[in-house]
Amino acid sequence: MTQYNPDTQRLFFDGLDNCRELGGMPLSNGNIFKKNIFLRSDSLSDLNEAQVNSLVEYGVGCVIDLRSEAEIANYGNPMQHRSEVKFYPCSLFVGNPEAVEDKTMVFLQTHHLGDFYCMLLKELPDKVIQVLRILKNENTLCLFHCAHGKDRTGVIAAILYLLTGASREDIILNYEVSYKYKYDYLSDLEKDKPDNMKHTMRSDRINMEIFLDFIDSEYSGDIRNYLIANGMQQSEIDELIHKCTA
């Protein structure tokens, strides 16, 4: 039975429901994922100036926005205008998730979110590696986020945890709690979705199981094989792992 409790990583910033430390995750060989280097979150777009200030005062000096170009254009990001924060738009979605005719949204009418996560790895390896390189290179507290902080954000978090030796069950637990943390908001959205799209508002464990099974079957259970196959150097991987665990 795991001793990991994802609630211990939750951060309570006003205006954010799903902001969390990556640090504190138990890893293999008794290691612990290092704190105060990476945060994951839901969207920052609705934060007012005082709420943004609280993140900056906490130490956030780098923000990676994983949303699509359309999402950023529609909703903006207040961190784009903060001179003390490095802002990186790194879309992990081709198209617009708010468009019903979007090919990915049509795909999700008959597939699990986990299948989308696998598609993301296959179609956007350059973006995945770009995100990891930013996280490796920035010497400040980095926050990465998407819209709800569960899907695209969950994929990057899972990759970091796979790299550093978190257990399969703990990675799944870390993924599952997004729906709980954003329940009030997501459950309202879910009511208005057609039955075959309600699942996209949730973070059911099967989605992360599909993703992890894909790594097992296609890359011998080692996420490093995926990264190396798509251009990341072993030395870069070692540096990122060291940053997360030293």
Token readout for 166 is 């978190």
Q: What is the mean pLDDT of the chain?
A: 97
Q: What is the mean pLDDT of residues 76-92?
A: 97
- Percentage of the chain beyond pLDDT 90 is 97
Q: Given this model, what pLDDT does residue 2 score?
A: 53
What's at 208, amino acid-wise?
A: M
126, burial (CB in 10 Å: exposed 0-12, middle 13-18, buried 19+):
exposed
Greatest alpha-carbon pair distance for the chain in Å reads: 47
Predicted model pTM: 0.97
Q: Are 119 and 93 in contact (CB under 8 A)?
A: no
What CA–CA distance (Å, rounded) separates 202 from 29? Answer: 32
Tokens of 229: 């196959």
* Residue of 150, 128, 125 whose CA lies nearest to 205: 150
- The string of pLDDT tens digits covering residues 156-182 is 999 999 999 999 999 999 999 999 999
Strands 10-11 and 19-21: antiparallel
Distance CA 90, CA 69 (A): 9
pLDDT in tens, 173-206: 999 999 999 999 999 999 999 999 999 999 999 9
**Which candidate, 129, 8, 147, places its Cα nearest to that of 66?**
147
Looking at residue 1, what is its pLDDT? Answer: 41
**pLDDT value of residue 246:** 80
Contact present, 226 and 219 (Cβ < 8 Å): yes
- Determine phi and psi for 40, rounding to 5 degrees: -120, 150
Query: What's the rounded mean pLDDT across residues 43-52?
Result: 98
Sequence length of the chain is: 246
* Cα torsion angle, 192, 194, 195, 198, sign: negative
| pLDDT computed for residue 49 by the predictor | 97
**Mean pLDDT calculated for residue range 231-238:** 98
Q: In which residue are the tokens 């709690």 written?
A: 177
Q: What is the pLDDT of residue 168?
A: 98
Nearest to 44 by CA among 20, 73, 61, 19: 19
Residue 6 pLDDT > 50: yes
The burial of 190, by beta-carbon neighbours within 10 Å (0-12 exposed, 13-18 middle, 19 or more buried), is given as: middle
CA atoms within 13 A on the CB side of 141: 15
Q: What is the pLDDT of residue 59?
A: 98
